[in-house]
Structures are given as structure tokens and as C-alpha cells.
């Protein structure tokens, strides 16, 4: 297990908490047991005091007499650990048990009649002092202090045995809890290991996205990661498409330049115009590659001016076909659109019309057209007198790499670029048969 892993950190944290908890529990239980043992000893010494009181006799002369044998045999054995003393209040010793021979008398503290005190003295013995006023039948009254003491070793041995037993059981319990905690951590963090493995599979290419059944807390993370993965793939695809679009967009200006290179002096302005156009195309396609897919327009572009420029350029490209352009549009038809987008849409459609036509291409622009339930700013229609496109193949040519005729040179992305741009702009593209020319007719609705 690596030291940087969450499992290791959680396990170490749990171990530290358990150690601190068990140490505290051990101290509390040991102290509680010690207090319980001392209380039991105090009660036992209290019983011994009562047994001495029952055995003692106060004579008529006021002297206290004790029997030679006591109920507790330990009082008769020297060094047994249980000792007894009887003293007159604030006076000399009256009696001591045979077990206390050779021991110093334990001086009692200040006491009032009928009270007792329990304490641990400096010699390491637990002592119980009990003050009593005794009156005999003759009316003689004496105040005695009964003292019973026992070595602390008895309690200490009990506490030590309890401590060893307690710590042994706490150690076993702690190790068991650590093992259980480790198993629980492995089980709890399993969803994280699953999602990591799935991410590795995505990196290797064996998976396209995170598709496992994850814990509820990880579903949001998995969703965001999938969105990120899809975004990165779309971004990469956008770059690839942009490069293909760039190559396709430069095709027409390059064709014009090829036609102008033979008579450069005559077509000097055309060459300059196409070079400028190529520079604009490169900049535009690079912007599209870095874009997020949304186009925001901030100024208007004159559709009529763009159509005139494109038709003039195509007339030179297809000079050998002597194409007759029939253009019907207002002198000015401004709409909000990126100029590069309009060049892509109109240029590709007009280039295809010139490529497939026999002699005629009709272009019309009308403003404020309504289609269905929507109003559109511009309707651009491009028709040719070529063979047209079969109805069943209209949707196919809108895909990248698909051409209407595989025998004709091309990249198969022109119509896909047009379709994508119109969709991004919120417009609509329709293809049908031209009623006037008999070839293909494209209708572009732009908002």
C-alpha cells in the first residue's frame, strides 16, 4: 500500500484514533477498577471494625478488654497484612492485634464520635479510623478510636492483574478492529479503483467513455469526466475537420491563381485578391478550430457583395465552360453573420453548381422569407442545369468524405462544411430539383 494512497492515510488515521481511544479507555477503566477495589477494601475494613466492636468489652472500671482470639484469624498472625489498634481519644494505645507487634502506632486524625475516615498513609497501607464513645452499665464513659489497616499490595495486585488482562484484550480488540477497518476501507474505496481502471481503459482506447455502475457520490464525477472526454474528442475532431476544411477552402483560390499565373501582368489584381482571400481563409479556419462550436456575430455582411465576388472568381476558374450566371438579388442585402461563414456557404454551393452545370447557374437572394413557423433574414437559392443529385443520396453527401460522383475529383467535405455551418447559425438547408433548369437546387435559409 503506497503512503500517498487514500487507503493508507485513512487506515493510519483510524489506527491513531483507535490507539488514542483505547489508551483513554484503559486509563478510565483502570482508575474505575482501582476506585472500586478501594471501596471494596473500605467496606471490608468497616466489617473488621464492627467485628472488633462486637468482641470488645468495657469493664466497670472503664478499662477495655479484648478476647485472646478474634473472628478474623489474620489478626493473630504477625505480618499477615491486616492489623488493628485501639486508642483512647488523644491518649495512649490501649490494644493492638498480635499481627501488629513491632509496628508503629498509626496516629488518627481529628474525629468526632460516630464518624470514620478512610485513607492511604505514607507506609503504603489503607487505614480506616472509627471514633466511638462507649458507656458501660456503671455509667463510665470512654471515647475510643478503632483503627484497622491493611497493606496496599492487595489492591495493587488486583489492579495490576486487571491492567494486564485489560490491555491484552484491548490489544486483541484493537488489532481486530484495524483488520475490519482495512477490509471496510477496501470495500468502501472499491468504486474509486473501478473508476480509475475505467479511466485507464479509456486512455488505452479499449473504452470510449466511463460506462460502469458507480457509487452515487461518483456519478457526478463520472458524468463530468465523460463530458470532458467528449469535449476533448470533439475539440480534436474539430481540429482535424478544420484542417480538412482549410485544404478545401484554399482549393478555389489556388485554382484561380493557377489560371492567372500564365498572364500575371493582366491578372495582377486577381492574384492579389486571391492571396488576400487565402490569408482570410487561413485565419478564419484557425479561429473555427479553436472555437467551442458557437458563432456570435457582431456586425453585418452584405450578401450581394459576397455573391458578386464569388461569381467573378468562379467565372475565371471555369472560363472554359463559359458559364452564364443569372443573378437576381437586391443591391444590398445585409445580414448578421461572420464573413468567413458566408464565404464558406455560398462559395461551396456556387462552386458545386459550376462544377456540375452544363452552361447555366441561377443565383437569387431574397430578404425576410418565412419558412414554416420561422422568419428568416435571407433566402439564398443556387440552381444549375446539371444532372442533379438523386433524392436518396441528398442526405449522404452532407456527410464528410462522401461525394455525389466518386469519379469527380474532390475531397467530399464541401457540403458537410456547409451543412454544419448552417446548423450552427440556426439556419436551414434544403436540396431539391430545379424546376427552371432541371438540375440541382439548393435553398439556404439564414436567420
First to last CA, the chain: 61
pLDDT at 3: 63
- CA contacts within 13 A on the Cβ side of 124: 7
Measured distance CA(447)–CA(444) in Å, rounded:
10
pLDDT at 290: 52
Range with the poorest average pLDDT among 72-86, 143-157, 239-253, 331-345: 239-253
CB atoms within 10 A of CB 49: 19
Angle subtended at Cα 199 by Cα 196 and Cα 204, rounded to the nearest 5 degrees? 130
pLDDT at 206: 80
Q: What is the mean pLDDT of residues 94-119?
A: 86
- The residue among 23 and 214 whose pLDDT is bigger is 23
Q: Which of 143, 150, 133, 140 is nearest to 45 (CA)?
A: 150
pLDDT at residue 174 greater than cutoff 80 = yes
pLDDT at residue 296 greater than cutoff 50 = no
Q: Helices 339-356 and 303-317, interaxial angle, to 10°?
A: 40
Confidence class for position 365, pLDDT limits 50, 70, 90: very high
pLDDT mean across residues, the chain? 80
Per-residue model confidence as pLDDT tens digits over 131-171: 988 877 777 788 889 999 998 887 888 888 988 998 899 88
Q: What is the mean pLDDT of residues 25-40?
A: 89
| Long-range contact pairs involving 46-52 (C-beta distance under 8 Å, separation at least 24) | 46/116, 46/128, 46/130, 48/72, 48/82, 48/84, 48/128, 48/148, 49/116, 49/128, 49/130, 49/146, 49/148, 52/84, 52/86, 52/146, 52/148
Cell 450552427, residue? 424
pLDDT at residue 125 greater than cutoff 60 = yes
Per-residue model confidence as pLDDT tens digits over 223-247: 777 777 776 776 676 666 667 666 6
- The residue among 231 and 12 whose pLDDT is bigger is 12
pLDDT at 383: 93
pLDDT at residue 311 greater than cutoff 60 = yes
pLDDT at 404: 47
pLDDT at residue 264 greater than cutoff 60 = no
pLDDT at 293: 43
Q: Measured in whole angstroms, how far is the alpha carbon of residue 284 from the centre of its chain? A: 39
pLDDT at residue 41 greater than cutoff 60 = yes
pLDDT at 94: 87
Q: What is the mean pLDDT of residues 80-95?
A: 86
Q: What is the mean pLDDT of residues 94-111?
A: 85
Confidence class for position 374, pLDDT limits 50, 70, 90: confident
pLDDT at residue 39 greater than cutoff 50 = yes
Cell 482501582, residue? 34
pLDDT at residue 69 greater than cutoff 50 = yes
pLDDT at residue 86 greater than cutoff 70 = yes
In this prediction the pTM is: 0.45
**Cell numbers standing for residue 9:** 492515510
- The residue among 339 and 277 whose pLDDT is bigger is 339
Measured distance CA(56)–CA(67) in Å, rounded:
7
Q: Which of 370, 365, 310 is nearest to 333 (CA)?
A: 365
pLDDT at 300: 79
**Percent of the chain topping pLDDT 70:** 82
Per-residue model confidence as pLDDT tens digits over 419-440: 887 887 778 888 888 888 889 9
Report CA torsion sign: 130, 131, 135, 141: positive
- Written in H, E and C, the secondary structure of the chain is CCCCCHHHHHHHHHHHHHHHHHHHHHHHHHHHHHHHHHHHHHHHHHHHHHHHHHHCEECCCCCEECCCCCCCHHHHCCCCCEEEEEEECCCCEEEECHHHCCCCCCCCCCCCCCCEEEEECCCCEEEEEEEEEEECCCCCEEEEEEEEEEECHHHHHHHHHHHHHHHHHHHHHHHHHHHHHHHHHHHHCHHHHHHHHHHHHHHHCCCCCCCCCCCHHHHHHHHHHHHHHHHHHHHHHHHHHHHHHHHHHHHHHHHHHHHHHHHCCCCHHHHHHHHHHHHHHHHHHHHHHHCCCCCCCCCEEEHHHHHHHHHHHHHHHCHHHCCEEEEECCCCCEEECCHHHHHHHHHHHHHHHHHHCCCEEEEEEEEEEEECCEEEEEEEEEEECCCCCCHHHCCHHHCCCCCCCCCCCCCCCHHHHHHHHHHHHCCEEEEEECCCCCCEEEEEEEC
pLDDT at residue 96 greater than cutoff 70 = yes
Measured distance CA(400)–CA(398) in Å, rounded:
7
Q: Which of 256, 300, 305, 301 is nearest to 278 (CA)?
A: 256
pLDDT at residue 297 greater than cutoff 60 = no
Q: What is the mean pLDDT of residues 357-362?
A: 91
pLDDT at residue 407 greater than cutoff 70 = no
pLDDT at 384: 92
pLDDT at 130: 92
Amino acid at each position: 500500500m503506497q503512503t500517498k494512497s487514500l487507503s493508507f492515510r485513512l487506515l493510519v488515521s483510524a489506527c491513531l484514533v483507535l490507539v488514542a481511544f483505547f489508551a483513554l479507555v484503559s486509563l478510565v477503566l483502570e482508575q474505575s477498577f482501582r476506585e472500586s477495589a478501594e471501596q471494596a477494601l473500605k467496606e471490608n475494613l468497616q466489617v473488621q471494625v464492627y467485628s472488633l466492636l462486637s468482641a470488645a468489652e468495657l469493664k466497670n472500671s472503664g478499662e477495655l478488654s479484648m478476647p485472646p482470639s478474634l473472628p478474623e484469624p489474620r489478626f493473630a498472625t504477625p505480618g499477615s497484612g491486616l492489623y488493628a489498634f485501639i486508642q483512647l481519644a488523644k491518649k495512649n494505645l490501649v490494644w493492638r492485634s498480635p499481627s501488629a507487634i513491632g509496628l508503629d502506632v498509626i496516629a488518627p486524625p481529628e474525629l468526632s464520635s460516630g464518624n470514620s475516615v478512610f485513607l492511604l498513609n505514607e507506609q503504603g497501607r489503607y487505614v480506616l479510623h472509627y471514633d466511638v464513645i462507649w458507656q458501660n452499665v456503671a455509667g463510665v464513659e470512654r471515647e475510643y478510636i478503632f483503627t484497622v489497616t491493611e497493606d496496599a499490595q492487595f489492591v495493587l495486585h488486583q489492579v495490576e492483574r486487571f491492567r494486564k488482562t485489560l490491555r491484552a484484550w484491548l490489544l486483541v480488540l484493537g488489532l481486530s478492529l484495524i483488520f475490519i477497518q482495512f477490509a471496510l476501507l477496501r470495500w468502501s474505496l472499491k468504486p474509486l479503483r473501478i473508476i480509475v481502471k475505467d479511466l485507464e481503459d479509456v486512455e488505452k482506447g479499449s473504452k470510449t467513455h466511463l460506462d460502469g455502475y458507480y457509487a452515487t457520490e461518483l456519478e457526478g464525477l463520472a458524468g463530468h469526466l465523460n463530458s470532458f472526454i467528449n469535449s476533448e474528442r470533439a475539440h480534436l475532431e474539430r481540429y482535424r475537420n478544420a484542417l480538412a476544411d482549410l485544404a478545401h477552402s484554399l482549393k478555389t483560390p489556388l485554382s484561380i491563381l493557377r489560371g492567372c499565373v500564365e498572364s500575371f501582368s493582366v491578372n495582377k489584381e486577381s492574384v492579389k485578391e486571391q492571396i488576400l482571400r487565402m490569408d482570410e481563409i487561413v485565419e478564419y479556419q484557425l479561429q473555427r478550430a479553436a472555437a467551442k462550436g458557437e458563432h456570435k456575430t457582431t456586425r453585418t455582411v452584405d450578401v450581394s457583395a459576397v455573391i458578386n465576388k464569388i461569381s467573378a472568381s468562379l467565372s475565371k476558374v471555369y472560363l472554359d465552360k463559359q458559364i452564364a450566371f443569372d443573378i437576381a438579388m437586391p443591391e444590398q442585402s445585409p445580414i448578421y453573420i461572420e464573413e468567413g461563414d458566408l464565404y464558406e456557404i455560398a462559395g461551396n454551393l456556387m462552386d458545386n453548381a459550376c462544377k456540375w452545370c452544363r452552361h447555366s447557374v441561377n443565383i437569387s437572394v431574397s430578404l425576410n422569407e418565412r419558412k414554416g413557423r420561422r422568419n428568416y433574414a435571407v433566402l439564398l437559392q443556387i440552381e444549375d442545369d446539371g444532372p442533379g443529385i438523386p433524392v436518396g443520396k441528398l442526405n449522404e453527401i452532407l456527410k464528410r468524405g462522401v461525394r455525389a460522383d466518386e469519379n469527380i475529383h474532390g475531397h467530399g467535405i464541401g457540403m458537410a462544411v456547409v451543412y454544419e455551418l448552417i446548423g450552427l447559425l440556426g439556419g436551414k438547408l434544403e436540396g431539391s430539383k430545379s424546376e427552371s433548369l432541371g438540375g440541382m437546387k439548393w435553398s439556404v435559409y439564414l436567420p
